[in-house]
A and B are shown apart, each in its own frame.
Chain A
Amino acid sequence: MSLPFAASPAERRLLTEGRLSGPMPWVIAIMMFLTVLAAAGGLALNHAASNVTGSIAQRITVQIVEANPDLREAQTRAAMAALGDMEGVTEVVRVSDEEIDALIEPWIGAAGDEEGIPVPTMIDAALTEAAHNDLERIEAAVVDAAPAARVDDHAQFLAPLAGLIGSLTWLAFALVLLTASALAASVILAVRAALNTHRSTIEVLHLMGATDVQIARLFQRRIALDALFGGLVGFLVAVVVLLLLGQRIGAVGSELLGSATLPLSAWIILALLPLAGAAVSTLVARYTVIGVLKKLL
């Protein structure tokens, strides 16, 4: 049984069977390489964005800014207790003095260790989404328990970063669309060139009663093979580049960069791109040939 979309063995013999027809597969390989990189960037950024908005952004930091150490300690305990009793607060952790010293050391050196320089205490708390949406209530309760408390919402200072990540994600997907469009355009050019090359054969087939679809099948099969070959080459090279980049990012040790990893679902999507490229190329070839043939009688 033959598929209506595929040329039969008999039909395949009607045109020369050039496997790697000119630069076409390599053009497709380059397009696919760029498409996979852009798509990987978009998917990684999307993953990072969901990490930022999901886990980091639903956290708050409570600072107890009080010069009197005893009072500061008392208010810290009161704030922690208030947070611990509150519905929607999933985690309350006091940031240790050592961590605070390490945080401020780049600005004031080791002076923070010395007596007489008041350093605020800090409490890190994780909230549920519902609690985060009702932050004013939490802030009021904390300030009520500890008047020197200042509540910082992570989402607020992460908003510009999340916005940037979102924009970069859209840019990456726009690049995917652009490269896919360029791929389609190059397929159209290749098909038109092939039609010109085989014009006399096509005319003969046409006058023998070959239908437009029969002739289109001859071209779409060749283009599909070229696109699949080029797509796989481009994909494999892109995967090597992505793995090397992943190693470099891992070596940096940045939490934010580290969050821009590719989950399994992203790898599956990337692996489907060469197949999608071949399918798009086949469709473009089919409709280009049919469009050109319709201008003949």
Chain B
Amino acid sequence: MAAPMATTIAQFENVGLRYGTGAETLSDISFSLDGGGFYFLTGPSGAGKTSLLKLLYLALRPSRGLIRLFDEDVVTLPRDRLPGFRRRIGVVFQDFRLVPHLSAFDNIALPLRVAGVEETELATPVNEMLAWVGLSDRASARPATLSGGEQQRVAIARAVIGRPEILIADEPTGNVDPEMAARLLHLFDALNKLGTTLVVATHDIHLLSRVSAAQMMRLEGGRLSDPTGALKNPPREPRGTRSGKSAK
């Protein structure tokens, strides 16, 4: 019996991105992400990984092409509907972007407060999340007093506390030692097993081999590429968008 078709959670078709009047940072990007998948986005520095992630977490609109998220065209989506979509996406920023005047507890509670969760209902999920990332004893610490790894874990806890359907992480292991990188990857893997779709941008080739089921995308010069055919399980391109293979 054939396995059930996974739901497409995100779809890019011929997407291009240009900042101002400069050359395109991203060109002809086409791929689909299945719900519950684990995707690595690789490529050298300056390849456009962060730009692609920004399109995915709705910080930018593309200059051209189609992006569908959760079955809706988000390119033409009215601006006032974007917050609802953003609440379904968790983001771990490369520089963490923790709010400096808030404690670890309050930083992790941010998405719930934004979503209007009552104060009385905050403590349990936030404390659970602190325990999950091993920071229960640092709940009241401010970011400036946390180590890089601790800040990273607070950022991850903040990104997942709202139970997002997609978790996007930009170079999450860029600022931590190999042992911490392995622990972070373990957290991501655990989340993925709970059904969250993960998109992790990294240029750490060691990371790629640690998640057996992960699929990979490689960006070079603003284009998705697989020059050596070495990528494992590359995410499928939307039908009819592969160059030279457009649907008849």
Cα distance A214–B115 in the bound complex, in angstroms: 10
Q: Is A240 an interface residue (CB 8 A)?
A: no
Taking A14-B99, A204-B97, A297-B61 as contacts, is the C-beta distance between A210 and B83 under 8 angstroms? yes
Q: Is A11 an interface residue (CB 8 A)?
A: yes
Q: Which of A200, A210, A294, A297 contacts B114 (CB 8 A)?
A: A210
Q: Is A9 an interface residue (CB 8 A)?
A: yes
**Do the beta carbons of B110 and A297 come within 8 Å of each other?**
no
Q: Which residue of B lies closest to A16 (CB)?
A: B101
Taking A9-B119, A11-B113 as contacts, is the C-beta distance between A209 and B99 under 8 angstroms? no
Q: Is A201 an interface residue (CB 8 A)?
A: yes
Q: Is B106 an interface residue (CB 8 A)?
A: yes
Q: Is B57 an interface residue (CB 8 A)?
A: yes
Q: Give the residues from 150 to 194 in chain B that come closer than 8 angstroms, CB to CB, to chain A.
A: 162
Cα distance A11–B106 in the bound complex, in angstroms: 11
**Do the beta carbons of B83 and A209 come within 8 Å of each other?**
yes
Q: Is A10 an interface residue (CB 8 A)?
A: yes
Q: Which residue of A lies closest to B112 (CB)?
A: A10
Q: Give the residues from 1 to 27 in chain A that come closer than 8 angstroms, CB to CB, to chain B.
A: 8-11, 13-14, 16
Q: Give the residues from 177 to 231 in chain A that come closer than 8 angstroms, CB to CB, to chain B.
A: 200-201, 203-211, 214
Q: Which residue of B lies closest to A2 (CB)?
A: B116
**Do the beta carbons of B84 and A204 come within 8 Å of each other?**
no
**Do the beta carbons of A10 and B86 come within 8 Å of each other?**
no
Q: Which of B87, B102, B117, B118 contacts A208 (CB 8 A)?
A: B87
Cα distance A294–B122 in the bound complex, in angstroms: 30
**Do the beta carbons of B110 and A204 come within 8 Å of each other?**
yes
A207 / chain B contacts, CB cutoff of 8 Å: 57-59, 86, 91
- 12 cross-chain CB contacts under 8 A: A9-B119, A10-B118, A10-B122, A11-B113, A13-B106, A13-B113, A204-B99, A208-B114, A208-B162, A209-B87, A294-B79, A297-B61
